[in-house]
């Protein structure tokens, strides 16, 4: 009977989540109407309100769904690089890599859902209205674990500098995954917004160098 479950066609509730995720990513919370969601998911207008209570409830459900998965994967990556390191703990580069690499997992290249989700996170992260509250709610417990590891790897760091460095990392990361097409235009097509592997390979050394420059003893 397992087979039957797998073959079951995608439920309406998930269709709503997927469609709304794509729409919110593109147009932001206020740029999307429940009617757009309903049409895209080919369900009745009232159904999304029934399942998620309200438009805002739908929005939160979207943020939560993949945050749980990403946080778990990042946590495993952090534990793994801790286990592989000596008693002094992992290097800055290994920690940064553990933070970034999971974003390319989960079949990122094939599953457009993750691409939409990261585009959405980019907007949320940069919103003066919701950025502080929502990013804290969905990501801070895990981020604090990474900050502790970084603190151990950079014992001479000023705390303020460490937090600013993370902030720079966060901004660079979310914009890179926002897929705005700007870098394509600036480079006259030489660089593709979609090339997350190329971006990842460069982001790790870029960010690592920044941390080391600011947070190592002179």
Partner DNA sequence: CACTTTTTTCAATGAACGTTGAATTTTTAC
Partner DNA sequence: GTAAAAATTCAACGTTCATTGAAAAAAGTG
CA angle 122, 123, 128 (to 5 degrees): 120
Mark the segment that binds DNA (CB under 7 A) among 10-18, 75-83, 144-152, 172-180: 10-18
Task: Give dist(CA 170, CA 211) in Å, integer.
Answer: 13
Residue 127, binding choice from a copy of itself, DNA, none, Cβ under 5 to 8 Å by partner class: a copy of itself
Residue 43, binding choice from DNA, a copy of itself, none, Cβ under 5 to 8 Å by partner class: DNA
Task: Give dist(CA 124, CA 133) in Å, integer.
Answer: 10
Question: Quick check: 44 binds DNA (CB under 7 A)?
Answer: yes
Q: What is the size of the binding site for a copy of itself (CB under 8 A)?
A: 69
Torsion of CA 91, 132, 62, 169, to 10 degrees: -30
Residue 114, number of CB atoms within 10 A of its CB:
21
3-state secondary structure 85-97: CCCCCCCHHHHHH
Q: Minimum Å distance from CB 29 to DNA?
A: 9
Cβ partners under 8 Å of residue 129, min gap 6: none
Question: Quick check: 196 binds DNA (CB under 7 A)?
Answer: no
SS3 for 28? coil
Question: Quick check: 205 binds a copy of itself (CB under 8 A)?
Answer: yes
Contact string (CB under 8 A) for a copy of itself, positions 30-69, x = contact: xx--------------------------------------
Question: Quick check: 11 binds DNA (CB under 7 A)?
Answer: yes
Give the residues lining the site for a copy of itself (CB under 8 A).
25-31, 119, 122-123, 125-133, 135-136, 140, 143-144, 147, 159-161, 163-176, 178-187, 190-191, 193, 198-199, 202-203, 205-214
Give the residues lining the site for DNA (CB under 7 A).
11-13, 32-36, 43-47, 49-51, 53-56
């Amino acid at each position: 009977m397992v087979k039957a479950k797998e073959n079951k066609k995608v439920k309406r509730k998930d269709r709503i989540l997927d469609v709304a995720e794509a729409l919110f990513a593109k147009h932001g919370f206020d740029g999307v109407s429940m009617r757009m969601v309903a049409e895209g998911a080919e369900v009745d207008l009232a159904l999304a309100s029934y399942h998620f209570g309200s438009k805002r409830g739908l929005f939160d459900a979207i943020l939560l769904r993949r945050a749980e998965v990403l946080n778990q994967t990042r946590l495993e990556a952090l534990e793994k690089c801790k286990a592989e390191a000596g008693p002094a703990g992992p290097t800055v580069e290994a920690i940064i890599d553990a933070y970034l690499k999971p974003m390319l997992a989960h079949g990122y290249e094939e599953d457009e859902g993750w691409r939409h989700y990261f585009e959405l996170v980019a907007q949320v992260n940069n919103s003066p209205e919701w950025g502080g509250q929502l990013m804290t709610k969905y990501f801070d417990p895990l981020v604090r674990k990474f900050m502790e590891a970084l603190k151990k790897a950079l014992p001479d760091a000023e705390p303020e500098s460490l937090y600013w460095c993370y902030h720079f990392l966060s901004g660079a990361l979310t914009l890179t995954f926002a897929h705005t097409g700007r870098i394509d235009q600036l480079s006259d097509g030489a660089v593709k917004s979609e090339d997350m592997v190329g971006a990842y390979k460069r982001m790790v050394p870029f960010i690592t160098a920044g941390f080391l420059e600011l947070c190592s003893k002179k």
